[in-house]
Chains A and B, each alone.
Chain A
Amino acid sequence: MELPHAQAAVLRAASAEDATPIDELAAETDLPPETVTGAAFELEERGLVVVLSREEESTTLTEEGDEYADRGLPEVRLYEAARGLDADPVPMGEAIGRAGLEGPEVDIALSNYARKGYGKIDSGTVTTDPDAVPDTDSEAMALDAITAGEAAPSDEVLDRLERRGLIERSERTERTVTLSDDGVTALMEGVESRETVGQLTPELLASGEWRDVEFGAYNVEADAERVDGGRLHVLRETGERVKDVLVGMGFEEMDGPHADADFWINDCLFMPQDHPARTHWDRFALEEPSEIDDLPEGLVSRVERAHREGVGPDGDGYHSPWDEGFARALALRGHTTSLTTRYLSGTEIGEIDPPARFFSVEKAYRNDTLDATHLLEFFQIEGWVMADSLSVRDLMGTFEEFYAQFGITDIEFKPHYNPYTEPSFELFGTHPTTGELIEIGNSGLFREEMLEPLGVECDVMAWGLALERLAMLTTGAEDIRDLHGTLADLDFLRNAEVSY
């Protein structure tokens, strides 16, 4: 009979009289145990051997268990120390000191002391029960037995020791192989091993020799070398996903300057020039260059009029100064709504007629200190819808649809205030793991004071949120600096779960 090498070796090593464990066969054949096991089962299928499996439980001491086996259980040591002192009750500190208990051992001793009936712990003192017999402590005895490799104590005691983290129990399958009658016959008739090859080569393929060879079995379960390879940045992945969703919802992407005039960033948004956000130090004003060269003249005066006088017959303006020089100042945009104002004004891609939907997922800047939840630069998701008539309900419906794509349902709308939208809403969603209600965006219908100067004669609703916030929600990242920036940890990026 011709058998593959491993099977032939196992067959020869097995005995008809004794059940030989796999380990012994492995040692004898010089094959890995898993190869021997595989071969044994294949031989069993041919009817040449009988494989018997037996579940075997083994118990080993943990490091802590080992120490207690050596030094005694903390509660036993406490009892003995307290007994050894000439008082009852004994001050707890004294007993602990004498028992030599340290660190977590103290709590362990105290929590087991009363349970085992060694006495009582009460307001800083220890009493001892004279009838207690620590020598027969079942847990201590079990530890000793395990150390000595003696018969296992009762399951109940083992369960307790396992709960205390003193032992580890594991189950393994012990297999033995015995030759069957057919196996004995086969051996007597003679068994040859078939040759095996390690690596499939071009030569084997070209010559056709591959038909006659046996391929040696690999340990296919063994760990393989780590390959990181290339991958898209995890935050970029989330960004691409957002773009996919928005394009799917009919939104078209905007593009425009990062360094822009305050006019486009704030004035066109009907933000008064003395609004705290505009004078606040978190604005990334540019020192050099400091001003934009050109602003559309007619638009500048319409915007100024809206700020000063409001729009419409019953409109009021702000009681704030307005200065074109201030509007010309350059800054890194604090929000990407500057793209929206540019697009709405018609200066970017010409006049936009309703209906229209536009978006961007681009960087905005905030001059702040960098920490685990704040970046100086972050991606803002910005989206707006233009139509002849839009209501708060349309806005809510759009956001429900958008956030549902990211598994965020049950959005709550908190009425809010923005200078450029009315009604305005902060959007809240439930964190998928903590269940906490967290802010996930800001939205509203643009005001007449913003739209009229820009020449828009229909309704526009808009919203924005930070991509990083969405990504922290969907990836579970806790430090935003891992997600974005030069301080990135390559291991975090390599191991981050793919989002799609």
Chain B
Amino acid sequence: MPTVEISPDALRELTGHEAGDDELIDDLFALGLEFEGRTEDDEFELEFAPDRLDRLSVEGVARSLRYQYGDARGVYVPKTNSPEWTIEVDGEVPDDRPYVTGAVVRGVDLDDAALDSIIQLQEKLHATMGRGRAKGAIGIHDLTMLKGSDALSASAEATDGKPTVRYTGVSPDGDRFVPLDSDSELTPGEVLTEHPTGETYADLVGGDRYPAIYDDLGLFSFPPVINGRRTEVSTDSRDLFVELTGTDQWTIDKMCVIVCYALSARGGTLEEVTVEYAEDAGGEHAGRDLVRPDLSTDEKRLAHDRIESVLGIDLGPEEVIDLGERAGLDVSREGHEIEEPEELAYEVTIPPYRVDVLHPRDLIDDIGRAYGFNDLEPRYPDVSTVGGRHERSRLEAAVRTRLVGLGFEDMLTFHLTSEEATFEAMSISPDGEGFGAGAPPRIKETYSEEYTIVRTWLLPSLLSVLENNTHRAYPQDLSEVGFTARIDDAETTNVAESRHVAGLVARNDAAYEDAKARLQTVVRAFGADLETPPAEHPSFIDGRAAAVVVDGEEVGVVGEVHPEVIVAHDLEVPVAAFEFELSALE
């Protein structure tokens, strides 16, 4: 789970509530932010669920707390001033990153803590909604360092003399700029190979054009990789220029809104920006002008009886409206004259920073949180059903009981293993004939060479347990009823999954007879007929191995394990073993 670091002092300052740390931790838990511990700077480390991305900063958490404390009610939308700046989008923008958005924020009060908080918000938004900057990336710049004029604009008359920056493309070996945390001028291509941040995000750009943003003085941002040093934000910055680029306009617009709310909470005044997509620009807005940030609210209709049925409580309309407002929503009753409660409904206004409200159901959750879920009285649902186990699971349990009665220690080993353990250490080959052979399902990207396939049979797992327990007392009579799989075109998943029954006897005098005796007890206990015609199997000693034939069908193998296999598992004790398909006992 991702975490966010929040200063409790800043929370107290921003909410105006002098809550003690413990009280604060409880209040945050109720918001769904779980206290994980403290950082070195004595900030709270909070685990957050990735729905309320507006709570990724102390400013956003404080806003939610103010609603929870009842100090704020209903939807709040900050005022915005009319646009002065324009972002022009031309046809040179790389096709895979067509969208841009932005905002100007003036008069921000940034101390070190506020600056850290804004940087953290940026990083957390990148990690979540921004999908590691691939879907959306944020750049924040010191506005006073930008120089925008019509000279830059291809169509001067269209911008009415307003300052302009241009979102375009740049060749990898094109214009040089000094990136953040660097002293030298680099081309975008050099940034990707020579700058640590560039190396990290190099995979996000490609081809012969990289995304770039220019002002009069030249390239100042290389999204989604890095900003230029010229426009770096510091605690002295008062006016900020925010730009976001990405693969989806809605996503970057929402990220932009969340950043704007946080900056507004730091005393900033929002100012709109005009985004001008040229006729030949990519994406779905070509030829259109957008005014951003998009602080428009959304409306959804919420039925009263659904609130009651999901929460399991009766509520009056005034209560619903009150709870909604405490959740930061505006709630108004639809048609006041309606008498029938089942027709009662509300029009709910959702603030623009909410990215998680996809359905009226999400609003019921908001109302439930405002009510306090832990205040609800649990009740056992008055619904009668008949329980029962799956037939396969009953059979497995019955076989295990029988095996345990014969003195076997029941094992529960991993389904994942390696070809080395499954085949080589057993002296068989996956494309060979014997029981256990077969093509195993193979894992794509593995961490460890020990876990690369799903096992095709169980005896290798049981032999591994023996190998890990040579220091433990013998006899070691082990059994398992467990999962196996192999590739099979006949199945729709192309994987045939089956359960096997395996048992082995490891003791100084273990012999074929010991395995066969136990095998036949198990098989006969299920009313099946067992034959053991001689068979060759490389895992077993020739002349001491047999096929397990149950009711006329060959379903397994039994024998004395071959010394080569025993030695390959670092064992010094004879082992006799059997394995067969569980389905043979059905």
Contact = CB atoms under 8 A, between A and B. Distances in A.
Identify which of A285, A289, A394, A449 gathers the most chain B CB atoms within 10 Å of its CB. A289
A251 B472 contact: no
A217 interface: no
B493 A260 contact: yes
Contacts of A373: none
A422 interface: yes
A484 interface: yes
B231 interface: no
Contact of B404 (A232, A356, A370, A398): A232
B405 A287 contact: no
Contact of A312 (B360, B403, B410): B360
Contacts of B34: 414, 426
B476 A490 contact: yes
A400 B34 CA distance: 21
B400 A289 contact: no
B384 interface: yes
A488 B373 contact: no
Interface string B339-380: 000000000000000001111111011001100011011111
B517 interface: no
B410 A232 contact: yes
B376 A396 contact: yes
A254 B390 contact: yes
B389 interface: yes
B374 A367 contact: no
B407 interface: yes
Contacts of B441: 259, 286, 288-289
Nearest to A368: B447
Contacts of B250: 319
B378 A393 contact: yes
Given A255-B390, A312-B360, A230 B477 contact: yes
A261 interface: yes
Interface size class of A (residues with CB under 8 A): 35 or more
Interface stretch (B152-160, B237-245, B461-469, B543-551): B461-469
Contacts of A134: none
Interface string A205-247: 0000000000000000000001011111101100010010011
Interface in B394-423: 397, 400-401, 403-417
A249 B385 CA distance: 8
B38 interface: no
B296 interface: no
Contact of B359 (A285, A314, A490): A314
A377 B135 contact: no
Interface string A392-429: 11101111110000000000111111000011111000
A389 B383 CA distance: 10
A423 B359 contact: no
A118 interface: no
A204 interface: no
B17 interface: no
B310 interface: yes
A253 B388 contact: yes
A433 to B, nearest CB: 21
B361 A448 contact: yes
B387 interface: yes
B319 interface: no
A231 B404 contact: yes
A344 to B, nearest CB: 15
B106 interface: no
A486 interface: yes
B285 interface: no
A66 interface: no
Interface string A355-381: 111000001010111100000110000
B184 interface: no
Given A255-B390, A312-B359, A422-B362, A233 B300 contact: no
A258 B485 contact: yes
A4 B473 CA distance: 41
B394 to A, nearest CB: 9
Contacts of A367: 443, 445-447
Contacts of B384: 250, 355
A317 interface: yes
A324 to B, nearest CB: 15
Q: Which of B135, B359, B448, B493 is the most central at the interface, judged by chain A CB atoms within 10 Å of its CB?
A: B493
B346 to A, nearest CB: 12
Given A332-B454, A422-B365, A449-B359, A287 B385 contact: no
A281 interface: yes
Contacts of B52: 417
A310 interface: yes
Nearest to B135: A274
Contact of B409 (A284, A311, A490): A490
B483 interface: yes
Interface string B426-450: 0000000000000101111111100
Contacts of A312: 359-360
A289 B440 CA distance: 9
Nearest to B447: A369
B472 A491 contact: yes
Contact of A259 (B301, B311, B454): B454
A293 interface: yes
Contacts of A332: 443, 454
A487 B469 CA distance: 9
A202 interface: no
A486 B414 CA distance: 6
A330 to B, nearest CB: 6
B381 A387 contact: yes
A124 interface: no
Contact of B360 (A229, A259, A314, A368): A314
Interface in B258-312: 299-301, 309-312
B409 A246 contact: no
A285 to B, nearest CB: 4
Contact of B413 (A240, A330, A424, A485): A485
Given A253-B389, A318-B358, A487-B468, 7 more contacts: A292-B494, A330-B494, A365-B415, A414-B34, A424-B365, A489-B472, A490-B472
Interface of A: 226, 228-233, 235-236, 240, 243, 246-255, 257-261, 274, 276, 281, 284-289, 291-294, 310-320, 330, 332, 354-357, 363, 365, 367-370, 376-377, 385, 387, 389-394, 396-401, 412-417, 422-426, 445, 447-449, 459, 484-491, 493-494
- What are the 4 tightest A-B residue pairs by CB atom distance, in nearest-first order? A391-B312, A393-B312, A289-B494, A417-B49
26 contacts: A229-B407, A231-B404, A231-B410, A250-B385, A252-B388, A253-B390, A258-B495, A276-B50, A276-B128, A285-B445, A311-B359, A312-B359, A316-B359, A330-B493, A332-B443, A355-B384, A370-B451, A393-B376, A397-B378, A414-B32, A415-B31, A422-B362, A423-B369, A486-B413, A490-B473, A491-B469
